[in-house]
């Protein structure tokens, strides 16, 4: 009896084990089928979900401006050889007129009043009338006006002007032989003639 009971128990245990295995296999198969059915649905839902709005990106920082460089222009070529463009002419500024007469050397004009009386003024005036860069008109006036500038009354000089007049005649006699050009020579001759006439009027000779 015990033997039969043992056999029965064993058979029952085997049957229970087989049942459990079968049920486990069936559950796994059902789970696999369920997963297979749900996968297309998930894919379909994913396809119907509207795409999310693109994330606004921060505006890119403006590029740092680079230093502007002047374009290097190649010199023109002549006959296959590069030539340099002609240089712009150098314009020298001309001095503005310093007095109403437009003299380029107004200091010489001021010195004229003291020629024959002041050595410094005489030296400056002498340099000016022999300056080749000074216009001929200006040199001419500086010499011819020896009979006016510095006198008490150019139209009617007095006895007090006689020493200055004589001094200027001697200065002309010294400078005229070495006049730098005909303009100066002619101006010396005219100034001397006027001064000599003044002496005659003052001395009665």
Same domain, 30 and 116: no
Q: What is the model's pLDDT at position 28?
A: 74
Within-domain flag for 100: no
Same domain, 189 and 116: yes
Within-domain flag for 165: yes
Name residues of the chain where pLDDT drops below 50: 41-42, 46-59, 61-97
Same domain, 199 and 114: yes
Same domain, 110 and 199: yes
**DSSP type of residue 66:** P
Q: What is the model's pLDDT at position 152?
A: 93
Within-domain flag for 70: no
Q: What is the model's pLDDT at position 158?
A: 93
Question: Domain of 6?
Answer: 1-42
Within-domain flag for 66: no
Within-domain flag for 92: no
Q: Are 139 and 184 in contact (CB under 8 A)?
A: yes
In angstroms, rounded to a whole number, what is the distance separating the alpha carbons of residues 165 and 158? 11
Q: Are 134 and 180 in contact (CB under 8 A)?
A: no
Same domain, 118 and 196: yes
Within-domain flag for 31: yes
Q: What is the model's pLDDT at position 157?
A: 92
Same domain, 123 and 195: yes
123-128-132 Cα angle (round to 5): 140
Within-domain flag for 74: no
Domains held by the chain: number: 2
CB neighbours (10 Å) of residue 201?
11
Q: Are 188 and 144 in contact (CB under 8 A)?
A: no
Q: What is the model's pLDDT at position 96?
A: 40
Same domain, 121 and 199: yes
Within-domain flag for 2: yes
Q: What is the model's pLDDT at position 114?
A: 97
Q: What is the model's pLDDT at position 6?
A: 66
């Amino acid at each position: 009896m015990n033997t039969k009971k043992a056999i029965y128990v064993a058979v029952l245990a085997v049957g229970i084990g087989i049942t459990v295995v079968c049920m486990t296999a069936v559950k796994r198969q059902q789970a696999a089928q369920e997963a297979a059915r749900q996968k297309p649905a998930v894919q379909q839902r994913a396809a119907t979900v509207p795409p999310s709005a693109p994330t606004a990106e921060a505006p890119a920082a403006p590029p740092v401006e680079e230093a502007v460089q002047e374009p290097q222009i190649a010199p023109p070529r002549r006959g296959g050889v590069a030539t340099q463009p002609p240089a712009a002419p150098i314009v020298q500024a001309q001095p503005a007129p310093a007095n109403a007469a437009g003299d380029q050397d107004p200091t010489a004009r001021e010195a004229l009043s003291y020629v024959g009386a002041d050595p410094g003024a005489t030296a400056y005036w002498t340099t000016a009338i022999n300056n080749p860069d000074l216009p001929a008109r200006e040199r001419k006036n500086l010499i011819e006006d020896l009979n006016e500038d510095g006198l008490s009354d150019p139209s009617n000089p007095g006895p007090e002007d006689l020493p200055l007049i004589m001094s200027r005649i001697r200065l002309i006699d010294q400078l005229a032989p070495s006049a730098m050009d005909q303009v100066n020579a002619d101006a010396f001759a005219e100034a001397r003639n006027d001064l000599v006439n003044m002496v005659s009027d003052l001395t009665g000779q």
